Amino acid sequence: MSIDLVGPAYAPVLAAIHALSFPRERWDAATFQQQLEMHGVLGLLDSRGGMILLRVTADEAEILTLGTVPAMRRLGIAAGLLADALDRAARLGARSVFLEVEVDNTPALGLYAAAGFAEVGRRRAYYANGSDALVLRADLPSPPPD
Ligand SMILES: CC(C)(COP(=O)(O)OP(=O)(O)OC[C@H]1O[C@@H](n2cnc3c(N)ncnc32)[C@H](O)[C@@H]1OP(=O)(O)O)[C@@H](O)C(=O)NCCC(=O)NCCS
């Protein structure tokens, strides 16, 4: 497994993975660049074809996006990225992590349930196709001493 913390220079790579992962919802390279230039936003890349963006704000973190290209799914790439992101969030002082996920996104719901996320809310008609978003939260452990 090879996961790297990447900066704005990797925006085109993350955008390419995102485009393959989310055919209906494009974030272009400029969007990734803006995000990665923001304070508290971290980008992690698995060079096999996965990426995650995480924002850490004081004691809370948010998963902004997470995707694995279709040809590389069910190999543990997203689980590895998520575990790395949660570990980094805890070390940066976050005590809980939030995310939004489409209510019928079975693969993502399986991934998040396995990582300890639980439903804490629902946003009605949140997505462009009219479907609801579930808001999920996971509590983070205190960071281990360095
Ligand atoms: C959701 C997504 C990120 C999972 O990526 P992945 O690299 O294939 O996931 P992993 O191989 O790490 O899977 C980890 C666990 O998640 C769950 N999972 C993953 N895909 C699943 C599927 N199709 N059905 C059910 N559970 C699934 C399983 O528990 C899996 O563990 P297992 O393979 O040991 O059973 C990927 O399907 C994707 O990019 N989807 C489109 C974008 C998206 O929906 N992103 C999340 C938005 S919130």
115 in ligand 1 pocket by Cβ < 6 Å?
A: no
Output the domain CATH number for residue 35: 3.40.630.30
pLDDT band at 140 (very low <50, low <70, confident <90, very high): very high
Domain count, the chain: 1
Is the residue at 70 inside a domain?
yes
Q: Whole domain around residue 14: which residue ranges? A: 3-139
* pTM across the whole model: 0.96
Tell me the best of 26, 74, 98 to mutate to test the pocket of ligand 1, counting ligand atoms within 8 Å of each CB and taking the most.
Answer: 74
Is the residue at 144 inside a domain?
no
Q: How remote is the CA of residue 46 from the centroid of ligand 1, in Å?
A: 14
Determine the pLDDT at residue 25: 84
Q: Give the chain's largest Cα–Cα span.
A: 45
Whose tokens are 């949660």? That residue is 86
Closest residue to atom 25 of ligand 1, CA basis:
107
Tens of pLDDT, residue by residue over 16-60, are 999 999 988 889 999 999 999 999 999 999 999 999 999 999 999
Closest residue to atom 43 of ligand 1, CA basis:
67
Q: What is the 3-state secondary structure (H, E, C) of 36-85?
A: HHCCCEEEEEECCCEEEEEEEECCEEEEEEEEECHHHCCCCHHHHHHHHH
Tens of pLDDT, residue by residue over 96-138, are 999 999 999 999 999 999 999 999 999 999 998 999 999 999 9
